Amino acid sequence: MSRSTEPHNAYVNKKSFILLISALSFIGLAIAKPNTAYSATCSRTTIPLSSAIATGPIPISVGLKYFPVNNQSPFVTGMRIRVVVGGTVQGTKYVEGRVGSISNCNVALLVDRLSGSGTLVNARFTVAGEIGAQGPTGLTGPIGPVGPQGIQGVQGVPGTNGLNGQNGQNGINGLVPAYGSFRDTTTQQVDSVNTPKAMTFNQITPGVNGVSANGVSVQFSSHIVVARTGTYNVQFSAQLTKTDSGNDVMDIWLRKNGVDVAFSNSEITITASLRQVATSNYIIDLAAGDYVELMYSSADIATRILAIAPQTNPVRPAGPSITVAITQVQ
């Protein structure tokens, strides 16, 4: 019996593990807990897992957790880790699970084992062992003797039928997320030094030049407008350069309905003759009709957000100056 079932069990376990890794990679950022908008700037110097520190609180509960760390280098999608507080992995409070997606020092962790309650603060990490396979089912015990049949009781009088209850409310439909991906194919620059300017987009029609959108649109060239209330992930990338010598700084931040979003600014140093790709993402709550803008400024009017023409040797496509993607996550 064991020869025929063990290969099958090994196959099932392997298949389940592969499906789990695929699911973690897919949902790592797509189902994140709502947070105030922030810009991800983090160290990528290679360090051991034991030296990484969670820079945000981690609730002790089962399910998907999304938290920032000081360095993402030791984390690998699919690895199993334990998160603890203190200098020992044998603490009385911990969460344990498998790592999902990793982006800009933000780590998704699907927690399936825990100890204690509350929140882990300034937590550290260690590799956790795999959960062992379920042991074989024990033998069925012998059936006891049948007891003597009791005397049949007198049949009671049928009761009156009760009134029908009210129909319950219809359940909530599952989330069909709104989304939009837009870009610009022109080189943009500041109009005057130290003056905020909105990034604009000229590729905004769904189905044309790689644009895709549902429930999100671009108005007035720079307003990214959502049609549904929810929590959204806003991501962008922009290729920066400058036409004069020296080093200069460009600031990039997020605005919501014309108001700067707190703690959303990033400063990028641009060096002459070099190109710098700026990228960041924000998690932000938006109501239907709200809009966001990507703002930038610089003390040097020679700074640019550069669009790339098609290239040869080898043949390669043109590159947009700015790409933005916005996705509803809740």
More confidently predicted of 30 and 59: 59
Give the three-class secondary structure for 204: coil
- Give residue 113's pLDDT: 95
Q: How would residue 230 be classed by pLDDT, with cut points 50, 70 and 90?
A: very high
CA distances from 298 to 185, 249, 329 (A): 21, 6, 32
Confidence of residue 3 (pLDDT cuts 50, 70, 90): very low
Mean pLDDT across the chain: 86
Question: Which DSSP category does 311 fall into?
Answer: B
Q: Average pLDDT in the 288-315 region?
A: 96
CA distance linking residue 290 with residue 224, whole number of Å = 8
pLDDT tier for residue 39 given thresholds of 50, 70 and 90: very low
Q: How many CB atoms lie within 10 A of CB 19?
A: 10
Asked if residues 329 and 177 have their Cβ atoms less than 8 Å apart, the reply is yes
Cα 294 from chain centre: 20
Cα three-residue angle 122-123-126, rounded to 5 degrees: 150
What pLDDT is recorded for position 135?
75
d(CA 67, CA 97): 14
Is 20 a residue whose pLDDT tops 70? Answer: no
At 56-110, the pLDDT tens digits run 999 999 999 999 999 999 999 999 999 998 755 556 799 999 999 999 999 999 9
Instruction: Determine if residue 89 is left, alpha or beta; phi over 0 gives left, psi from -120 to 50 gives alpha, anything else beta.
Output: alpha
Whether pLDDT at 178 is above 80: yes
Spatial separation of the C-alpha atoms in residues 300 and 245, rounded to whole Å? 11
With bands split at pLDDT 50, 70 and 90, how would you rate the model's confidence at 38? very low
* Domains, the chain, with CATH or none: 2-127 (no CATH), 179-328 (2.60.120.40)
Q: Is the pTM of this model over 0.75?
A: no
Note whether 225 and 217 are within 8 A (CB).
Answer: yes
Confidence (pLDDT) at 6: 42
CA torsion through residues 304, 309, 313, 315, sign: positive
Burial 25-40 (b: 16+ CB within 10 A, else e): bebbbbebeebebbbb
Instruction: Please list the residues that pair with 213 across neighbouring strands.
Output: 180
Nearest Cα residue to 292 out of 192, 176, 201, 212: 201
